[in-house]
Amino acid sequence: MFRRWCVPLAGATILASLIFAAGTAAKAAKGSHAPAAQRSRPREPVFRPAGHMTLPFAARGSIRNRVGSTNWSGYAVGGGSYTSVSASWAEPIGICASDYAYSGLWVGMDGYNSSTVEQIGTEVDCSAQGPNYYAWYEMYPSHPVHLPETVHPGDYFTGSVTFNGGGSFTLELSDTTSGWSHTVNASLSGAARSSAEVIVEAPSSTGGVLPLTNFGTASIAGATVNGTAMGDLDPTRIVMVDSSGGEKDTISSLSGGENFSATWLRGG
């Protein structure tokens, strides 16, 4: 998927931000590690499963620390130097009412207020053949990498990204239902580590943000940053919206500082 990042939205900057998000996302993901269901796609897909947040709207009403984004939903913390982030989730069931729609769920650092990205997660995309499930990681500016393991709807995952020092990161995704775990050791020079996130995302292409797969309700648990409950770090709640501010999903408050849910409302 093309790069998907988070930049402040303010009135007339919407169009410029869309052009910026598309332009910085110009290269498509490589498919060599894609599961069988993905290999029928073009060698250079028009989307890639990772990136920065785009178009945050200013906080609304009386809800403190809330923004809207055209491609992200969930929670982010910023303003610090972060060394780890982790969370668990059940892979949502994709309801494919139309041929093409896309949705990812991941944990990571950066992309909220920086140009670097270190992310790992799962994806459910809709095509004419129905829902396709897979896992991936990304260390931007390198292409996202599809993991070889099989992803099933309903499987319970735990994802984490840990900074080891000296530009070194460990990204891990475990499927505790199917019993597999994939660990990636990667380096990224100049990683900002200025934010940490747990996010449901709609990918983007050269035409802008793509339709969001109907994922029903995604439940996220155990969201921690630097070994601390995310809710203790004054996080920002992010709700996915269209360019007019209409909500595409709802994000619950954090329960126990670590648990929340995202509920799909509409794809466009």
Q: What is the pLDDT of residue 14?
A: 32
- CB-based contact 2:205 (threshold 8 Å): yes
Closest CA to 81 of 114, 119, 54: 114
Closest CA to 209 of 76, 118, 103, 109: 103
Q: What is the pLDDT of residue 51?
A: 58
For residue 1, being part of any structural domain is answered with no
Q: What range does the domain containing 187 cover? A: 13-264
CATH no. for residue 104?
Answer: 2.60.120.700
Choice between 67 and 172, residue whose per-residue pLDDT is larger: 172
> What is residue 201's three-state secondary structure?
strand
Q: Which residues of 162-184 are buried (b: 16+ CB within 10 A; e: fewer)?
A: ebeeeeebebbbbbeeeebeeee
For residue 4, being part of any structural domain is answered with no
C-alpha angle with apex 212: 134 to 253, nearest 5 degrees?
Answer: 95
Q: What is the pLDDT of residue 23?
A: 37
pLDDT at 40 over 80: no
pLDDT, tens only, 228-260: 999 999 999 999 998 888 999 999 999 999 999
Q: Indicate the residue type of 217.
A: T
- CB-based contact 73:201 (threshold 8 Å): yes
Q: What residues does 149 pair with on adjacent strands? A: none
What is the number of domains present in the chain? 1
pLDDT, tens only, 193-235: 999 999 999 988 878 889 999 999 999 999 999 999 999 999 9
For residue 259, being part of any structural domain is answered with yes
Sign of the dihedral through C-alpha 172, 248, 127, 102 = negative
CA distance 233 to 210: 31
Phi/psi at 39 (5° precision): -70, -15
Count Cβ atoms below 10 Å from residue 97 Cβ, excluding itself.
10
How much of the chain exceeds pLDDT 70, in percent? Answer: 76
